Amino acid sequence: MKTTQTKPPILRKCFLLSLLLSLPFFLVLLSLQPKHHHQNTTDPPPEKQSYGSGDLKIRPGYPSYKSYIQRQLKKTLNPKLRELWTTRDWDRKIRVFAIFFQDLKQKRLLSNESKALCIGARVGQEVEALRRIGVSDSVGIDLVPSPPLVMRGDFHNQPFDNETFDFEFSNVFDHALYPDRFVAEIERTLKPGGVCVLHVALSRRSDKYSANDIYSVKPLVEMFKGSEVVHIRGVDGFGLDTEVVFRKKRPIPRS
């Protein structure tokens, strides 16, 4: 009669010990994986979500968040565009952004002491403009990093702690597939009293890589639940015509 062979106790112990020792390694690997916003299976598709009584519409054609990221990367990694951004457009855009930011400094919405973030900064013209006018503690985020000005980051899930920045600027709101998440991350990472400046296109539609179209500032005002509007004005910002500025509310002190 055959008897069932079992592993010696010492081998079982070694096996269990190796599992325990390898667990931290696997946890570290998981922590290094890109963290993107994932749509909940119970949520409606992005284009079915309504904002501001129809004044903000999500464009169709994104069956998954992965497909959305791939489409955004198609523009960001386009070698011809990147060469254009870093050569012919470089100084021109820095000069224009510097004028915008200098005006905000005069309005006391930005200072040299501000810790500033540029969202969707591509190759970093906005960051360079901030640094040239004296706001030295400035950084940008984009899906593709462009050191030393721009680090890797998804604006639907900013890689920063709560209440990190005094000032945040973005002219890529139209690229947000989940605008409410885009805004929530700004409010999360802004300090109380911090300022957010958005440049958007209301009178014309954005480029083919945009994920949404906005027709009034109403959806923005509704989504910035923890902030108040500072001003709304017309601008000429590389195809964007409206500047909307919000200030994050300070907590009401308890009596």
| 227 is a domain residue | yes
Domain count, the chain: 1
Instruction: State the residue range of the domain holding 204.
Output: 46-248
β-sheet bridge partners, residue 217: none
Contacts of 231-239 with C-beta under 8 Å, sequence gap 24+, read 235/100, 235/199, 237/96, 237/100, 237/171, 237/199, 238/93, 238/96, 238/171, 239/201, 239/204, 239/206, 239/207
Instruction: Give me the helices (H) in the chain, please.
Output: 9-31, 65-76, 79-86, 88-106, 125-132, 179-189, 218-223
Mean pLDDT, the chain, whole residue set: 85
| 6 is a domain residue | no
Q: pLDDT (tens digit, 9 = 90+) per residue, 202-220?
A: 987 768 889 999 999 999 9
Which helix (DSSP H) or strand (DSSP E) does residue 140 occupy?
strand 138-142
Q: Are 122 and 75 in contact (CB under 8 A)?
A: no
| 216 is a domain residue | yes
Sign of CA dihedral 155, 156, 161, 166: positive
Which helix (DSSP H) or strand (DSSP E) does residue 227 occupy?
strand 227-237
**pLDDT of res. 252:** 84
| 31 is a domain residue | no
| 59 is a domain residue | yes
Distance CA 171, CA 96 (A): 13
| 32 is a domain residue | no
| 127 is a domain residue | yes
Q: pLDDT (tens digit, 9 = 90+) per residue, 50-96?
A: 676 789 999 998 889 999 999 999 999 999 999 999 999 999 999 99
| 11 is a domain residue | no
CA dihedral 184, 190, 191, 197 (to 10 degrees): -120
Q: Has this prediction a pTM greater than 0.85? A: no
Say what percent of the chain tops pLDDT 90: 69
The CA radius of gyration of the chain, in Å to the nearest whole number, is 23
The CATH number given to whatever domain includes residue 200 is 3.40.50.150
CA dihedral 48, 181, 242, 81 (to 10 degrees): -90
Pairing, β 165-170 against β 116-119:
parallel
Distance CA 223, CA 171 (A): 17
Q: pLDDT (tens digit, 9 = 90+) per residue, 85-126?
A: 999 999 999 999 999 999 999 999 999 999 999 999 999 999
**pLDDT of res. 203:** 81
